[in-house]
Amino acid sequence: MVLSRLVCAFLLVACCCCRRAAGVPGEAEQPEPELVEVELGSTALLKCGFSHSQGNFSHIDWFSVHKEKSTLIFRVRQGQGQSEPGEYQHRLSIQDKGSTLALTHVTPHDERIFLCQDKRPWSQEHRIQLRVYKAPEEPSIQVNALGISVNSRELEEVATCVGRNGYPIPQVIWYKNGQPLKEEKNRIHIQSSQIVESSGLYTLRSVLKAQLLKEDKDAQFYCELNYRLPSGNHMKESREVTVPVFYPAEKVWLEVEPVGILKEGDRVEIRCLADGNPPPHFSISKQNLSTREMEEETTDDNGILVLEPAQKQHSGLYQCQGLDFETMALLQSDQHELLVNYVSDVWVSPAAPESQEGSNLTLTCEAQSNQTLEFQWLREKTGKVLEKGPVLQLHNLKREAGGGYRCMASVPSVPGLNRTQLVNVAIFGPPWMALKERKVWVQENAVLNLSCEASGHPRPTISWNVKGMANEQDRDLQSVLSILNVLVTPELLETGAECMASNALGKNTTIIFLELDSSRTGLNMSTVSPHARANSTSTEKKLPKPESKGVVIVAVTVCVLVLAVLGALLYFFYKKGKLPCGRSGKQEIMLPPSRKSEFVVEVKSDKLPEEMGLLQGSNGDKRAPGDQGEKYIDLRH
């Protein structure tokens, strides 16, 4: 019996030795395979590293082990390599004298064990585990756009995260407001799945389901993909999203814009707000002052009550009502008092003041407001402040005091809140003329506009003494301007034009003289400020007629030549004895001793003394002051 047991043990040991000697790969126990990590698409270097250092790698076989099946893929003989037919036929080569097998264009299908075997001098083998990695694309996230109600009893989908084309499968982590989420019964559930693409890469899809609260209405959700590369661990994050959260309103309130003090003329908006999502259906009511009941107001399409412009009757109590269609609860806001500050009913007494020249006049201004008022008086045509207070005293009135006065009532505590009232003061008197006389340079047969302005109380009317088309314009309540369109004729040049202003207290005129101006191509009409010379008896200065100095010089030169010729003829006749000289005229001229041989002819002239400088003798002597009415021409030259 003992002998038979020894025989069996010997046979078992011999069998094991025979199987190992036969070279069947993978049968003997081996240490953990060497790990080689590469990225997708790169080249994997598989080094056949035996324990002995004397191996010459001249006889090596390479196998791929997939699902516990070994397949010969490459042979090395005497430093030369040869691929076996199959999937690796065109992607394998040897390096380092046959000690390293290079696998190009690595794919996820290459993730397996590779085995190298050397049978000389005895059978040895080395296993290599090849790991392939590929970073996934940036994760995309899709939020539940329909929203989640806090009243839902089931877990609702919050968002979906997708990571495409990664290898191996990445891990997903969900975050809310920067904090990682974990599975929680009846609160949080994360459901993940993966799809294997034809390329061998994985697409991960993860769905976050949760039961949300009102506090989650602004929560930020995002997902994170964790993956490994030969260089280490890495991660990619999606963008942050917010999911609509629906919850019933608990409070309703009223809001007014603009905030602060309101005044008449402002644009005021009244809107209702609530803390629910979606907001309830709103209505706005205002208290009726007569019945003390709240009455619904008409709002725009957005539920906003617009008061434009705001008026004092818009003041009062307002309230919002909100109806939640999900819970059918009716909520009401607190009552809000709206105050529109105003100034109204500004009036002046007397409303149409009239007074005589030299008298006194008192103007009183009144107004209504819900605030304390300040008054001031301004002159309408100048804007100058005349008085602060509701009463304006005008003493010893002159005609110039007539016209507009404006009372302004303002509220100092409300900037920009004021109202004004204009009143015109009339001073009784006959018409005043802007000008008594006027000269206009004109051209014959030209069309001319003649203007005439007058004022007075009662307001005067204007008439002309010449025919033409007249047009009257009211300057103010007491002044009128008449413009007459006429043709300049010889008769009009001779007679001129006269305009007459008249009212119940008298009449007044303006005379317009027309003078021909041959040296001008246009009309020169004088312009005078209104009332510059009202009722004045002085005559307007005559406009100087333009003269040409060149024309005067030429005229004087011609006169001198004519006189010289005349003098020469007289002297000729005198020498011939044909010109008798009487004693009635100046026939002999007294000359200085140095000029006894000179002859001078006297010629009478009406030229002014300042023009005689052109008619001096050759030696530059001037006449005595008493002889300024005569000219002397030296005939010696």
The 10s digit of each residue's pLDDT in 341-371 is 999 889 999 999 999 989 999 999 999 999 9
* C-alpha span between 276 and 252 (Å, rounded): 9
Looking at residue 577, its pLDDT comes to: 65
Q: Can you say whether the dihedral through the CA atoms of 190, 193, 199, 200 is positive or negative? A: positive
Average pLDDT over residues 541-567: 64
CA angle (189 as vertex; 279, 153 as ends), nearest 5: 45
User: Any residues with CB less than 8 A from the CB of 150 and at least 6 apart, and which?
Assistant: 212, 213, 214, 245, 246, 247
Q: What is the mean pLDDT of residues 29-36?
A: 82
pLDDT value at position 96?
84
Report the Cα 364 to chain-centroid distance in Å: 46
The pLDDT of residue 627 is 40
Angle among Cα 183, 189, 195 to the nearest 5 degrees reads: 110
The pLDDT confidence band at residue 32, using thresholds 50, 70 and 90, is: confident
Scanning the structure block, which residue is given the tokens 């026939």? Answer: 587
DSSP-assigned beta bridge partners for residue 511: 437, 498
In the prediction, which pLDDT does 636 show?
A: 38
3-class secondary-structure state, position 318: strand
Q: Who has greater pLDDT, 504 or 586?
A: 504
pLDDT on residue 420: 95
Confidence of residue 97 (pLDDT cuts 50, 70, 90): confident
| Mean pLDDT across 490-517 | 91
Confidence of residue 38 (pLDDT cuts 50, 70, 90): very high
- Joined together, the tokens standing for residue 275 give 């803390």
Number of C-alpha atoms within 13 angstroms, CB side, residue 524? 15
- What is the band of 462 on the pLDDT scale with cuts at 50, 70, 90? very high
DSSP, collapsed to helix, strand or coil, labels residue 431 as strand
Quote the pLDDT of residue 18. 38
Across residues 323-339, what is the average pLDDT? 90
CA separation for the pair 322, 377 (Å, rounded): 51
Which tokens in the block code for residue 405?
């006065």
pLDDT band at 568 (very low <50, low <70, confident <90, very high): confident
Rounded CA separation 1/65 (Å): 44
Confidence of residue 43 (pLDDT cuts 50, 70, 90): very high
Please compute the mean of the pLDDT values over residues 421-442 and round it to a whole number: 90
pLDDT for 526 equals 37
The pair of structure tokens assigned to 527 is 């312009």
For residues 517 and 442, the answer to whether their CB atoms sit within 8 Å is yes
Write down the pLDDT at residue 3: 40
Backbone φ/ψ region at 184: left (φ over 0), alpha (ψ -120 to 50), beta: beta
Given pLDDT bands bounded at 50, 70 and 90, which one contains residue 436?
confident
| pLDDT (mean) for 397-408 | 91
Would you place residue 438 in the very low, low, confident or very high pLDDT band (cuts 50, 70, 90)?
A: confident
Average pLDDT over residues 225-232: 96
What average pLDDT score do residues 573-593 get?
A: 49
- For the stretch 256-307, pLDDT in tens is 999 999 999 999 999 999 999 999 999 999 999 999 999 999 999 888 999 9
CA distances in angstroms from 465 to 470, 499, 511, 560, 630, listed in the order given: 11, 7, 10, 48, 47
Residue 541 has pLDDT above 60, yes or no: no
First-to-last alpha carbon distance for the chain, in angstroms, is 189
Confidence of residue 570 (pLDDT cuts 50, 70, 90): confident
Q: What is the pLDDT of residue 612?
A: 34
Burial class (CB in 10 A: 0-12, 13-18, 19+), 232: exposed
The token duo for 85 is: 């037919």
Q: Which of 216-225, 317-326, 586-595 is most confident? A: 216-225
